[in-house]
C-alpha cells in the first residue's frame, strides 16, 4: 500500500479529528501492508504537527503499531473535566501529570493488561457518561452502539455518529477527487 492507500486509511478512520470535530483517534496499522511504514509516517508527521496534531505510539510490535493521533490542547482540556479525572484517578492517573505523562501511563497499562484499559475512551474523546456506563455495565446494557457503546444521550450521540460518518465520507471523496491531504487537514486550537 502506498501514499494514496495510507491517506485513505487516515481519512476513513480519522477524518473527524482532521477537521476538528474530535480530539483524538486510535488507528492500528499492519507494517507489512506498507513498503516502509515508519518512513511513510515520518513524511506525514510535519504536516500533521503544523496543523496541531501529534502522533503517539501506544503499542508497537513487529507487525502492528497502534497510534493515537490527537490534538494535545483539545485532548488535555477534555481530560481536565472533573468527571473524567474521577475515572482516571481510579486507574492511577494523577492531577500532577502532564498530558505526556498520562499518555505514558495509558501506554504502560496497555502493556500490562495486554488489552484496552477502559479509560481509553476518555483519550478517544468519548463522553464520560458512556465510559462510566461501559465500565459499570461491563460493556452490556447499552442503549445504542456505533463508534462506541452509548449509555446516555442516545439521540445526541446518534446525531454525532452521523456527523462523523458524513465527515469521513466527504474527506475520502475529496481525496479521491484529487485534493491534497494537507489541504484537507484543518488547524484547530
Strands in 64-70's sheet, in edge-to-edge order, are 24-30, 64-70, 54-60
Specify which residues 57 forms β-bridges with.
Answer: 67
Q: Is the dihedral of CA 116, 43, 147, 62 positive or negative?
A: negative
Q: Is the dihedral of CA 173, 175, 180, 181 positive or negative?
A: positive
Model confidence at 114: pLDDT above 80: no
Provide the pLDDT confidence category of residue 188 given band limits of 50, 70 and 90: confident
Model confidence at 99: pLDDT above 80: yes
* Number of helices (H), then strands (E), in the chain: 9, 5
Q: Which of 70, 79, 78 is nearest to 27 (CA)?
A: 70
Question: Among residues of the chain, what percentage have pLDDT more than 90?
Answer: 90
Per the CB < 8 A criterion, the answer to whether 59 and 108 are in contact is no
- Mean pLDDT on 168-186: 96
* pTM for this prediction: 0.95
Provide the pLDDT confidence category of residue 1 given band limits of 50, 70 and 90: confident
pLDDT of residue 186: 92
Model confidence at 12: pLDDT above 80: yes
Dihedral (C-alpha) 131, 113, 92, 102: value to the nearest 10 degrees? -80
Q: For residue 141, give the C-alpha cell.
A: 446494557
pLDDT of residue 189: 63
List Cβ neighbours of 143 (8 Å cut-off, separation of 6 or more). 150, 151, 152, 154
Model confidence at 3: pLDDT above 80: yes
Dihedral (C-alpha) 27, 58, 147, 99: value to the nearest 10 degrees? -120
- Mean pLDDT on 35-49: 94
Provide the pLDDT confidence category of residue 130 given band limits of 50, 70 and 90: very high
- Mean pLDDT on 54-81: 96
Model confidence at 66: pLDDT above 90: yes
- Mean pLDDT on 125-148: 97
Provide the pLDDT confidence category of residue 148 given band limits of 50, 70 and 90: very high
Strands (E), 6-63: 24-30, 54-60
Per the CB < 8 A criterion, the answer to whether 123 and 78 are in contact is no
Model confidence at 57: pLDDT above 80: yes
pLDDT, averaged across the chain: 95
- Please state which of the ranges 20-34, 75-89, 110-124 shows the lowest mean pLDDT: 110-124
Model confidence at 171: pLDDT above 70: yes
Amino acid at each position: 500500500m502506498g501514499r494514496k492507500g495510507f491517506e485513505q486509511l487516515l481519512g476513513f478512520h480519522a477524518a473527524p479529528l482532521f477537521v476538528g470535530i474530535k480530539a483524538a483517534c486510535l488507528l492500528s496499522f499492519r507494517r507489512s501492508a506498507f513498503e516502509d511504514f515508519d518512513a511513510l509516517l515520518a513524511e506525514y508527521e510535519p504536516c500533521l504537527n503544523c496543523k496541531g496534531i501529534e502522533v503517539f505510539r501506544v503499542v508497537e510490535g513487529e507487525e502492528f503499531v497502534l497510534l493515537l493521533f490527537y490534538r494535545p490542547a483539545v485532548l488535555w482540556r477534555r481530560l481536565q473535566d472533573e468527571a473524567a479525572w474521577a475515572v482516571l484517578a481510579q486507574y492511577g492517573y494523577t492531577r500532577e501529570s502532564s498530558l505526556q505523562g498520562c499518555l505514558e501511563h495509558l501506554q504502560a497499562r496497555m502493556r500490562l493488561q495486554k488489552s484496552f484499559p477502559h479509560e481509553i475512551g476518555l483519550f478517544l474523546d468519548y463522553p464520560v457518561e458512556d465510559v462510566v456506563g461501559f465500565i459499570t455495565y461491563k460493556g452490556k446494557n447499552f442503549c445504542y452502539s456505533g463508534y462506541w457503546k452509548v449509555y446516555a444521550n442516545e439521540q445526541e450521540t446518534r446525531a454525532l455518529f452521523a456527523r462523523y460518518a458524513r465527515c469521513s465520507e466527504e474527506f475520502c471523496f475529496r481525496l479521491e477527487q484529487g485534493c491534497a491531504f494537507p489541504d484537507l487537514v484543518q488547524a484547530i486550537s
